[in-house]
Amino acid sequence: LEATEVARAAKVDSVIGFGGGSPMDVAKLVAYLAGPTTQRLDEIWGVEQCDTTSRLPLVQVPTTAGTGSEVTPVAIVTTGATTKMGVVSATLLPDLAVLDAGLTLGLPPHITAATGM
């Protein structure tokens, strides 16, 4: 993930995921991969493949309803044009979820319907 390299280079001390399920899933992976681990993304696919429980502090701020990504230990990302891969690890559980329903008020009706059901 390019975001992981950017986070490492900037020496970030925490990660905030902001958006729908996909951006929050990327934030989970960046918080882990830019932390103290030496693992690469291709080494952690699957269930409980993370070699450490350490990661950068992670806050999730959902702007859509329904994905639940802000409170799950799962990250699903697209690895190619259509291929999706997943990581499941308790290490990915966020430290804090900031839930503000007001952030969804500006969504187009079709997005509200698609993410709220």
pLDDT of residue 59: 99
pLDDT of residue 31: 98
Q: What is the mean pLDDT of the chain?
A: 93
Cβ 27 vs Cβ 69: under 8 Å: no
| 49 or 1: which leads in pLDDT | 49
**Overall average pLDDT of the 28-37 stretch:** 96
Domains, the chain, ranges and CATH?
Answer: 2-100+108-116 (3.40.50.1970)
Burial class (CB in 10 A: 0-12, 13-18, 19+), 81: exposed
pLDDT of residue 71: 96
Distance CA 6, CA 8 (A): 5
- Count of C-beta atoms within a 10 Å radius of residue 9: 9
Cβ 69 vs Cβ 33: under 8 Å: no
Please give the model's pTM, rounded to 2 decimal places: 0.91
